[in-house]
Amino acid sequence: MTFIVIKKGLTSDRQPDRSQMVRYGGDSHTPRNPKENTMPTLTGTAHWAKVHEATNSPKYPDNYQYSIDIGPLSVDDIAELTAQGLADKIVHDHAKKDYIPCITFKHPPVVWENNPDDPDGDRIEVPFEPRVVDTEMNAIPKSTLIGNGSTVNVVYFASHSKKYGTTSARFNAVQVVDLVQYAGASPDPMAELAAIGNGASFSA
C-alpha cells in the first residue's frame, strides 16, 4: 500500500506521485496519518460513486456528503484499513450490497480549519470538493459519472472526532483507472409509450 497526499493530481500508473504531496488541511476532526504528511490509498472497484456532487438521504436530509463505496475488499485491503483504524467501518454483511466486504468513504462539502489570520480565534468554514482525475492527470468533468464496476484509486484517511469519540472513513481524491460510465436511470416506460403514440385515446 502506498501512502500519499495529492497536490496536483495522481500519476498514470495506478499509484499517486510522491512528488505531488502536500499536507491536507483537515476538517472538524483530526486526520490520523500513520506517516507525517501522508495518506493511504486504496485501489478497488467503485460502487455508488457520488464524488461530483454531495448528496443527502431521506434519513438524514440535512447531512450532505460526497461518498463512494469500494468493494469487494481483499484480505490485504482489510488488513490495511484495520491498520488505519477503520476496522469498524468495513461492512461484512449487507442485504442490499452484493460486493461485500466493502467500505464507504465520505466527506462533507465543507471543512473547518484554523483561521490563518487569527490562529487563536474561531475556526472558519472552508468549501471542499474531492479531486477526481483520470490516469493522465486530467480532471474528470462532472458530466462524466463514475458507474458501478469502475476501477479507482481512493486517497483516504481515518478522521477522529475528539468531541464525539467517533471515527469516520474520509476521502479527498479519486483517480479513475478504468471507467464504467454511468448512463443514467432506466428509460421512463411511459415516455416510451408516448413516443409510440397513434393509439386510441380515452380522455374526455
Summarize pLDDT for 57-99 with one digit per residue, the tens. 888 889 999 999 999 999 999 999 999 999 999 999 999 999 9
Confidence (pLDDT) at 119: 81
**How far is CA 52 from its chain centroid?**
9
The pLDDT of residue 121 is above 90: no
Specify whether the CB–CB gap between 22 and 11 falls below 8 A: no
**pLDDT of 144-191, one tens digit each?**
999 999 999 999 999 998 888 999 999 999 999 999 988 765 556 665
DSSP for 64-95? -EEEEEE-SPPHHHHHHHHHTT-GGGEE---T
pLDDT of residue 151: 98
pLDDT of residue 192: 59
8 Å CB contact between 56 and 64: yes
**pLDDT more than 90, % of the chain:** 55
**What pLDDT, on a 0 to 100 scale, did the predictor assign at position 168?**
95
CB-based contact 53:143 (threshold 8 Å): no
pLDDT digits (tens, 9 = 90+) for 18-67: 333 223 333 334 344 444 457 899 999 999 999 999 999 888 889 999 99
For residue 168, the cross-strand partners are: 159
Q: Is the dihedral of CA 142, 144, 148, 150 positive or negative?
A: negative
Identify the residue with better confidence: 137 or 89: 89
- Domains, the chain, ordered by start: 18-196 (2.40.50)
Query: Global pTM?
Result: 0.73
Tell me, what's the pLDDT at 122? 86
Q: How many CB atoms lie within 10 A of CB 195?
A: 9
